[in-house]
Amino acid sequence: MSNEDGGSLRGPLAHRVPDLAALELLLAVARLGSLGRAARETGITQPAASGRIRSMERMLGVGLVERSPRGSRLTDAGVLVTDWARRIVEAAEAFDAGAQALRGQRDSRLRVAASMTIAEYLLPGWLVALRARRPGTAVTLLAGNSAAVAERLRAGEADLGFVEGLAAPAGLDGAVVGGDRLVVVTAPAHPWARRRAPIAAAELAATPLILRERGSGTRQVLDAALAAYGGLAEPLLELASTTAAKAAAVGGAGPSVLSELAIGEELASRRLVEIPFEDLDLHRSLRAVWPTGHRPTGPARDLLSLTQGP
């Protein structure tokens, strides 16, 4: 793999694992629903993007992206590969941030742990603002579900965390930095998209859904809301990122319950349809959290202030 293609692997893995640039392109296709928009975001031409996807498909031996005049969508295999790709890209970002800190080119370090929805849709803007205020801060981002974020903070592996859910996890103090709502969505061809009456809570509970994994803030809120209706049915798919769950729903795999923060573009373009429901409150708070009795200081304090507005 050449540097021009973004690859750096050598040895046997180089022939089996796509390079970072290809994985980042696939994640952009999943998020934007368009190969052309993904190409523009990653700074390459559309023919180059198409070639990069085809090369990755040949390497893996499976189709990843289906193209049509209305856009691009992931295949079932593409949804799984995207979920795995995100973990590789996040590990590379953490490696890069850590290497910069070791080189001593920065005057301070901040370790942030964030749940997936916040990490994907809110934290990038906050970190851009932090860089303007503290350009010498090396930030390491540790993304995972809300339970994993809490565990990292309690273990001293992060300076500040962000979680979604019903309350601050045990052993942590926190402050509400925003709100969110969970939304039931399907692809336009799903039978629910043609219904006039809202989905009853009992029907939603009994339906196999595309869900985030246990330990995520999304799953915690949904489990609590549907406990009175017998709890959730066995998941249709259980995925470790909002992007993967969204891509599966866009692809027509089935209904899903997702953060309103994550689906604005898909609803506007009608790649997903919001399904009204009744008898449920799926609002939740977004929180900054830190170990009890240890109020954030330094860069962590600055980042916290940026999330809370002027």
Residue 176 has pLDDT above 80, yes or no: yes
- 179-218 tens-digit pLDDT: 999 999 999 999 999 998 999 999 999 999 999 998 888 9
Instruction: List pLDDT tens digits, range 123-166.
Output: 999 999 999 988 888 899 999 999 999 999 999 999 999 999 88
pTM over 0.75: no
DSSP code at position 149: H
Q: How far is CA 107 from the centre of its chain?
A: 30
Could you report the per-residue pLDDT of 214-258, keeping only the tens digit for each? 888 899 999 999 999 999 999 999 998 888 999 999 999 999 999
Q: Kindly state the tokens that stand for 88.
A: 């590789």
The pLDDT value given to residue 103: 54
pLDDT confidence of residue 282? 94
> Does 6 have pLDDT greater than 70?
no
Strand partners, 12: none
Instruction: State the chain's mean pLDDT as an integer.
Output: 88
Question: Could you give the CA distance from residue 258 to residue 210 in angstroms, rounded to a whole number?
Answer: 9
Residue with tokens 């998209």: 193
Q: List pLDDT tens digits, range 262-291.
A: 999 999 999 999 999 999 999 999 999 999
pLDDT at 227: 95
Q: Locate all alpha helices (DSSP H) within the chain, ordered by sequence.
A: 20-32, 35-42, 46-60, 76-102, 116-121, 123-133, 146-154, 201-206, 217-226, 242-250, 264-268, 298-307
pLDDT-derived band at 7 (thresholds 50, 70, 90) equals very low
Residue 8 reports pLDDT greater than 60: no
Q: Which pLDDT belongs to residue 192?
A: 96
Give the pLDDT score at 70.
77
13-36: per-residue pLDDT in tens?
Answer: 656 788 899 999 999 999 888 888
Task: Return all residues near 307 (Cβ < 8 A) that are at least 6 apart.
Answer: 122, 126, 162, 177, 178, 288
Enumerate domains of the chain plus CATH numbers: 3-85 (1.10.10.10), 92-175+286-307 (3.40.190.10), 179-284 (3.40.190.290)
